[in-house]
Structure 1
Amino acid sequence: MNTYYDLLQRMKTYGTFIYTGDRELDLTLLTEEIRSLKLSGLFSTQEFSQAMAIIMEEKSKL
């Protein structure tokens, strides 16, 4: 997982499709979903860190 697109594709494997038309809201919802996956043990610590870094990078672009 290196890009926002990669992250969205990874989320699709869990049946999660996030698109509201508002990029900031999409990032917020994505953050919550990733935290849920981490708590349930479906995301490793490394995957979680990568995902959060991607989200932070995308937020900085806004």
Structure 2
Amino acid sequence: METYNDVLKLLKRYGTYVHLGKRLYDMELVAIELDRLHKTGLLENSDYARAKIILNHAHEEEVRNPLKLTTRRKDTDDR
């Protein structure tokens, strides 16, 4: 497990899919779900710790530089 997408795949193995519409909100809900899985004993300590580190890093990056998803280029807006 190395990326935020790997953390999402981990959650999917437990039947948890997260999509709220805003990436930052998704990350916050993923953190809650990881805590829940760990608390119930379904998630091993090593997987939990690794996932939380990856998630915290991704969350910090998203706060600093929000991912801007756009399908149109700026120069085509003037046409």
Identical aligned pairs, as a percentage? 31
Structure 1: stretches of 5+ with no match in the other structure: none
* Structure (1/2) with the larger helix percentage: 1
Shift of 1:25: 0.7
TM-score by length of 2: 0.73
Please state whether the residue corresponding to 1:38 is helix, strand or coil.
helix
Higher relative contact order (Cα pairs below 8 Å, separated by 6+ residues)? 1
Greater Cα radius of gyration, structure 1 or 2:
2
Q: Which runs of 5+ in 2 are unaligned?
A: 63-79
Q: CA RMSD in A?
A: 0.8
Partner of 1:44: 44
Deviation above 2 Å: which 4+ runs of structure 1?
none
CA deviations 1:3-47 (Å, max 9, x no partner) are 111111111111111011211110110001000100111111111
